[in-house]
Structure 1
Amino acid sequence: MKQIVIYLWCLCSAAQAIQVKDLKCESQSNPTGITLARPSFSWTFIGNDISQEQGGFRVMMATSIEKLKYPDLWDTGPTSKSETGPYQYLGEPLKSGQKVYWRVTVWGNNRGVRHSEPAWFEMGDIVNPEKAFEPPVFEQKDGVVKINLNPKDEGRTFEGIGGVSAGASTDLLYDYKDPYRDHILDILFKPKFGAGFQHLKVEMGGGENSTCGSEPSHAITREELKNPVSRGYEFWFMRAAKDRNPNMILEYLPWSFPGYLKPNIYSKESAEYFVTFLDVAKRDWGLDIDWVAAAENENYTDRDWLVNEVRPMLDARGYKNVKIQGPDDNSGDWQIFEELEKDPEFDKVIEAVGYHYVTGREFTEDMVDGRGRPTTAKAKASGRPLWASEDWSWTGKDWGGAGALNLARIYNKFYIRDKITKTLIWAPIGSIYKSVTWDKAGAMKANSPWSGYYEVWPTIWATAHTTQFAEANDWQYLDNACGLFDASTYKGSCVTMKNKNSSDWSMIICTEEHETIEVAIEKGLSNTLVNVWKSSEKEQFVQLESIEPKNGSFTIKLDPKCIYSLTTTTGQQKGQYSIPEETPFPFPYKEDYEDRKVGDLPKYHSDQTGSFEIVRKVDGTNCLKQINPEQGYDWMRVYRRSNIKPNTLVGDVTWTNFTCSVDVFIEGGNVELGGRVQGSYLKGYRLMLEKNGNWTLVFDKQTLAQGSVENFDANIWHKLELTFMDKEIEAFVDGHSITKVSHDKKSGYVMLGSSYDGNLFDNLEVMP
């Protein structure tokens, strides 16, 4: 009988799943003899009770079924479109007689994902076949690579290397005290000192989870839109970057939006929302932001909105110098150029085109040789600035694998293959609690503000090999001195740039094998001493003996798996400070929220959803308040699960046996105190108290106990308390035990949670 019940349950579950089927190439299933160079593709989406429509898709094509994991022919990336085709092929040029395997992943409009079975098609004799891109390869003679530096050589302007502070990745950095916070900022932004990032893109917070947590909005209500507020740490972060480098390029982009902008985020009101962010930056921080990525992160953009609302409003409000970059999408193949060439108004508005993860997402040492999502011939022919506007997303701690050496190779590859002149990495710094989503990402780490400890990782110096040797917008690539050592791999490469205003030049070289390079310097470029800097797995950013060219040339021998910078400029350095030892999070721990100003963020708290800030109580003391009045427009709402409700983490993920307590005032809905919470998705023990006195103790989604407080007074403060001792968990309200359960022995953070109401918290304590 149990087997029958299980079987029926499985049938019912399968019936409820969304489906994708009937994959067709040129309206045929698994056809042969396709002669079009760019055939079209479609499929059938079948929804369920939760998601009746397709919310997004991803098409992957490869030369074998095994390679569909990291497609070597075409990868659209996640694309937020409901149409199921036909979509024209925009991948690598196809060959006559070639057999291609493909698959479609679909998402429902209310979440849910399904992968199709692989399909295939076979090419016939292609009419007007296209030619594949062939990277430039340096001439070699008797094992010596020949590179010629010509000042008259053509090439695009280098626009810089930058970082994306978003998804709450900079969260805990804000809580560091000086001098350590200043030291970290110097390593990130001070020219010719550390990474020297030249462009900083920040998240325009919307109060919903945007990867590793949530960032607050400058206008959480329509009323605030009339007088926007400086919140969070991104304005401060931009100011700190600009203070260290007055030429810092600034940009902003939203991930989520406050609830009042739903359901249409492409409206006149949302254009106003974008512009008021500029107002706050200027009014409160003296910042002139250079670029706006006027879209929703990785969810494309809206042509009419940009042309008819955003650009006119920017101009009318005194922001004519603020340029628009777009679409800042995660879908592949630079499809916006198909629209721009047919639409002069749209073409005029978009002043740079940026896409995410041009590398693809193969996080191995072969990442640099993956197809990823290359720029198209049409994109390169446009002459418009092309950006990898968010890329890499890995840990900077590693030298090999997808780490530092790989990133330096990617910087070079993007210009050699794609003519990309600006690369922004996520994240410049990982200031994220352990076990929270993407907690290992970043070019360096700073997630221990209570001790001042931080780690400077090799990726900082891999980035310095470019940024300390060429300034954004002042240097130009020399195309004939940019290329590969071996046509089969981007692991060995060189890019060369010259200063537009002097005869100085720099070469950034990545090796895979031993190389001997002979460099010839033509008249018009500096023929003085060549300074040499090297990074290897063993040691990064070391200055070697300088080279004096003879008769306009020099030869240098290079070690394998290294990064070199050769330059006629000076002043580079490996900046460093004394770093204190790492210590655990303070325990016992007490927080009364008195050491921060009203409107500020609470110390050591990491908002995962919603927004928590310091407010003043009636008695004149401070407390913590959840300020988002309703659920916002959730980023990636189609592709991933929600974080359920506003919550903020504090403490140490290794905490196991302890007692935590907090005072609460319930304005509406409910509040929560959690313990042993593991990360972003409320997985832990949580005591929830509602305004009517009902309480529930849960673990993850499992109810462990529930009840009601007799004679509950909702108009006064109450105290919640949880005690953990091995497998025993006891919950208290106002000092009275309400339940004691035996469950599992786990560890994790303390968490404060709330419904989307203005609920208050004070006197948080964590004791043995």
Structure 2
Amino acid sequence: MTTRVLIFFFFFFCLNLTAQTLDVKDLKCETQINPEGITKARPSFSWTFVGDSISTKQGGFRIMMATTIEKLKYPDLWDTGPTSKSETGPYQYLGEPLKSGQKVYWRVTVWGNNRGVKHSEPAWFTMGDIKNPEKTFEPPVLKREGGIVKININKNDTGRVFEGIGGVSAGASTDLLYDYKDPYRSQILDILFKPKFGAAFQHLKVELGGGENSTCGSEPSHAITREELKNPVSRGYEFWFMKEAKNRNPDVILEYLPWSFPGYLKENIYTKESAEYFVSFLDVAKRDWDLDLDWVAAAENENYTDRDWLVNNVRPLLDARGYKDVKIQGPDDNSGDWQIFEELEKDPEFNTIIKAVGYHYVTGREFNENMVDGRGRPTTAKAKASGTPLWASEDWSWTGKDWGGAGALNLARLYNKFYIRDKITKTLIWAPIGSIYKSVTWDKAGAMKANSPWSGYYEVWPTIWATAHTTQFAQPLDWQYLDTACGLFDTSTYKGSVVTLKDKNSTNWSMIICTEKSETVEVNIEKGLCKKTVYVWKSDANNQFIQQEAIKPKKGVFTIKLDPKCIYSLTTTTGQQKGSYNIPEETAFPFPYSEDYEGGKENDLPKYHSDQTGSFVITKKEDGTNCLMQLNPEQGYDWMRVYRRSNIKPNTLIGDVNWKNYTCSVDVFIENGDVELGGRVTSSYIKGYRFMLMKSGDWKLLFHKTVLQEGTIKNFEGNMWHNIKLKFNNETIEAFVDQVSITKLESKEKNGYVMLGSSYNNNLFDNLKINP
């Protein structure tokens, strides 16, 4: 074969490789394409993944199954959720029991190992006569006679132990709360955690920070380098947040979970060293904060976990280091319909160390008024039969400002639904508080809002009181559900429901009711439970958590009329209150503004900065004064790396998204790589103007990722401090280095935050100034 022919074939091969696009095809049920007459109750599924030049392998997948093609958007039969698995099957069906003769539509979404996504065309299969059909779960419906709902409360009724309601502080969602000053900071913390005062959250799960973006920003690591692992450091606000929660409620249950990991732990995050990383977080909590944590979610958030690592590394190390009482929860995933129970059933050793099982978004992520009736990923019969505590370990993720839609009323309905349908005894919402700059990802999420620390302003939203309807009336571990007094008003919807609990140590009881329509309820209190005064609390769209006229049962029986679309708590306990404080007026971010980073201690977070990627902490200069340092020495193991784009580089935001014309400047010392000063930045992904200065003296002025101008400063001295400045005046942008104009250009008039950025080096910043 001639050289010319070889070159032609090589060129043709490369051309074809380049032209190949990501694809998913050949969807098969029981090895057949669109088969009919499937008789297995739980068939298996597979497909073919076709990679491209960027992603040669599958990085993850999601299977969706529904009774119609239209319902594939929000599947009513099965939804694995996004997984991080490279195998293309076979995967066994774990959804709702299938029926003989049923036609099922399904599709697969795949992600490449270096991002990129492809949705398959819909496929289908038809069930024949199923061998060994399974019984479909039917929710309990409350007895109704003559239009009156009858509920009996029996102290000998069976039911699971209530384990609490709490919040997940993660993804930088609590960022700006740390910057509030007393008395307002204490007021907010009271509303979140003080028993019988506000939300009274009973469980707090925090992020084990890894320095990479984990939703609304990044949280610093306690051991960002291998050397620090030998002597871990208290950083960020999560230790502080747990301590404040504990100060208000000594019985609050504490847990932690990682999203990202420092670079030295990649590519395999399930090693002996990563187990040390997990356990050393407990060392910092105890050594510096006198905190004893209760649970570790030994996994990576929403990316499953590793059985051998838990059994052979994590549990033995916890025991050896004096943390035998710290229990392991897993897998904290958002996929799989509780598939971990398929493994636990066959693996006694694994089953022994998993003390609770938690999954995310158990009711799905269709955030509207019908959310409560969404299928999501319900617990399986096998999960319920296991006896293992079942948790909704992250759920809801919406704005607490709304009453209707997916807001406060629906959250209260979810709390009830999770026990009635799923036998879930603990629910954690993300987030307990939204302390995030405006326009940053998920900036409206949270049960309440506190993102104005300079003014002390905060907002207490209806979701705080929807949560209080449960947390102020039942205590974790001491209260038990009464199953025959839990159920729905109407079999067709979870919008109207009742759960009833009793105190295991007294005769007290409480009942939490959510209504969709007007209802009349007759309650019969049987022997052994308190029959004295029944106190009533009510919330509706206009007024939340208002105490009503008390009820005096006659011979243990009373009747109550309930309004539609309300939450009620009926109880024989006392002491509940709608806690409140005088909240100051909201003011804009102070302008002009300057920050010299003095007053903070080493490794502390700088005031009003919001890290989006990387970690910016206070450190000492050679002269003993403070400055700001980007801490991360290398890019870490990025959370959700398969499914979403990474941030451009380490960066932190400060200021007001509405700022338009201003001059910002900062002193910089470039240890290596480059530093940036940005302006008119509007999002987590540095969408704004960026002036980048390198240690070599090269510079670039960019908008987002587009280079607008670039050049080199002659005779630049890289080993000394420099000042960089950006001036925004209507449609003109001018950049300066050491007060010398470097470039000036015309551009569109925009608005946004000031941004400090850095390569993955320990670069320094000081004397930030923002002026008209």
The TM-score with structure 1 as length reference comes to 0.98
Match of 1:124 in 2: 128
Task: For residues 293-329 of structure 1, give each alpha carbon's deviation from its aligned partner in whole angstroms, at most 9, with x where no partner exists.
Answer: 0001110000000000000000000000000000001
How far apart in 1 are the matches of 2:471 and 2:764?
46
Correspondent of 2:177 among 173, 183, 189: 173
How far apart in 2 are the matches of 1:61 and 1:588?
56
Moved more, 490-499 or 325-334: 325-334
Task: For residues 103-158 of structure 1, give each alpha carbon's deviation from its aligned partner in whole angstroms, at most 9, with x where no partner exists.
Answer: 11111111111111111111122222111100000010110000000000000000
Correspondent of 1:241 among 231, 235, 245: 245
Match of 2:283 in 1: 279
How far apart in 1 are the matches of 2:625 and 2:510?
57
Moved more, 601-610 or 96-105: 96-105
Match of 1:667 in 2: 671
Counterpart check, 1:480 vs 2:516: no
Match of 1:251 in 2: 255
Correspondent of 2:563 among 549, 556, 559: 559
Task: For residues 507-530 of structure 1, give each alpha carbon's deviation from its aligned partner in whole angstroms, at most 9, with x where no partner exists.
Answer: 000000000000000000000100
Match of 1:105 in 2: 109
User: What does 1:287-326 align with in structure 2 at a 5 Å threshold?
Assistant: 287-326=291-330
Correspondent of 1:391 among 392, 395, 406: 395
Match of 1:759 in 2: 763
Q: 1:621 Cα shift?
A: 1.2
How far apart in 1 are the matches of 2:263 and 2:606?
23
How far apart in 2 are the matches of 1:123 and 1:495?
37
How far apart in 2 are the matches of 1:270 and 1:14?
38
SS of residue in 1 equivalent to 2:450: strand
How far apart in 2 are the matches of 1:452 and 1:14?
56
Match of 2:505 in 1: 501
Counterpart check, 1:601 vs 2:605: yes
Moved more, 241-250 or 36-45: 36-45
Match of 2:8 in 1: none
SS of residue in 1 equivalent to 2:349: helix
How far apart in 2 are the matches of 1:598 and 1:325?
33
Correspondent of 1:149 among 153, 158, 162: 153
Q: 1:32 Cα shift?
A: 1.3
SS of residue in 2 equivalent to 1:409: helix
Moved more, 30-39 or 233-242: 30-39
Q: Aligned AA for 2:299?
A: A
Task: For residues 341-387 of structure 1, give each alpha carbon's deviation from its aligned partner in whole angstroms, at most 9, with x where no partner exists.
Answer: 10010000100000011011000000000100000000000011000
How far apart in 1 are the matches of 2:296 and 2:714?
54
Q: 1:738 Cα shift?
A: 1.1
Match of 1:540 in 2: 544
Structure 1 unaligned blocks of 5 or more? 1-10
Q: 1:339 Cα shift?
A: 0.3
Task: For residues 697-744 of structure 1, give each alpha carbon's deviation from its aligned partner in whole angstroms, at most 9, with x where no partner exists.
Answer: 000111100000110000111111111112211111111111111121
Give aligned pairs, total.
758
Q: Aligned AA for 2:497?
A: S
Q: Aligned AA for 1:481?
A: A
Counterpart check, 1:409 vs 2:413: yes
Correspondent of 2:375 among 371, 376, 384: 371
SS of residue in 1 equivalent to 2:414: helix
Match of 2:10 in 1: none
Task: For residues 74-114 of structure 1, give each alpha carbon's deviation from its aligned partner in whole angstroms, at most 9, with x where no partner exists.
Answer: 00011111000011111111111211111111111111111
Match of 2:342 in 1: 338
Paired-residue identity, %: 81
Correspondent of 1:519 among 513, 517, 523: 523
Counterpart check, 1:89 vs 2:89: no
Q: 1:14 Cα shift?
A: 9.3
Match of 1:164 in 2: 168
Instruction: Decide whether the 8 Å contact of 2:689 with 2:701 is kept in 1.
Output: yes
Q: Aligned AA for 2:770?
A: V
Match of 1:573 in 2: 577
Match of 1:7 in 2: none
Counterpart check, 1:27 vs 2:24: no
Q: Aligned AA for 1:17?
A: T
User: What does 1:621-660 align with in structure 2 at a 5 Å threshold?
Assistant: 621-660=625-664
SS of residue in 2 equivalent to 1:158: coil
Match of 1:6 in 2: none
Instruction: Decide whether the 8 Å contact of 2:17 with 2:52 is kept in 1.
Output: no
SS of residue in 2 equivalent to 1:187: helix
Correspondent of 1:676 among 655, 676, 680: 680
Match of 2:142 in 1: 138
Match of 2:496 in 1: 492
User: What does 1:444-463 align with in structure 2 at a 5 Å threshold?
Assistant: 444-463=448-467
Correspondent of 2:192 among 181, 185, 188: 188
Q: 1:17 Cα shift?
A: 3.2
How far apart in 2 are the matches of 1:749 and 1:270?
36
Q: 1:595 Cα shift?
A: 2.6
Structure 2 unaligned blocks of 5 or more? 1-14
How far apart in 2 are the matches of 1:608 and 1:508?
40
Counterpart check, 1:269 vs 2:269: no
Q: Aligned AA for 1:729?
A: I
How far apart in 2 are the matches of 1:659 and 1:23?
57
Task: For residues 537-563 of structure 1, give each alpha carbon's deviation from its aligned partner in whole angstroms, at most 9, with x where no partner exists.
Answer: 000000000000001110000000000
How far apart in 2 are the matches of 1:731 and 1:117?
51
Task: For residues 633-680 of structure 1, give each alpha carbon's deviation from its aligned partner in whole angstroms, at most 9, with x where no partner exists.
Answer: 111111100012100000000111111111100000000000011111
How far apart in 2 are the matches of 1:21 and 1:670?
44
How far apart in 1 are the matches of 2:526 and 2:178?
49
How far apart in 2 are the matches of 1:183 and 1:12?
64
Match of 1:206 in 2: 210
How far apart in 2 are the matches of 1:503 and 1:152?
12
Correspondent of 2:593 among 578, 586, 589: 589
Task: For residues 183-241 of structure 1, give each alpha carbon's deviation from its aligned partner in whole angstroms, at most 9, with x where no partner exists.
Answer: 00000000000000000000000000000000000001111111100000000000000
The TM-score with structure 2 as length reference comes to 0.97
Instruction: Decide whether the 8 Å contact of 2:17 with 2:53 is kept in 1.
Output: no
SS of residue in 2 equivalent to 1:277: helix
Counterpart check, 1:356 vs 2:365: no
How far apart in 2 are the matches of 1:575 and 1:711?
63
How far apart in 2 are the matches of 1:56 and 1:322?
31
Correspondent of 1:63 among 57, 63, 67: 67
Task: For residues 451-510 of structure 1, give each alpha carbon's deviation from its aligned partner in whole angstroms, at most 9, with x where no partner exists.
Answer: 000000000000000000000110000000000000000000000000000000000000
SS of residue in 2 equivalent to 1:157: coil
How far apart in 2 are the matches of 1:723 and 1:303?
55
Q: 1:12 Cα shift?
A: 9.0
Q: 1:13 Cα shift?
A: 11
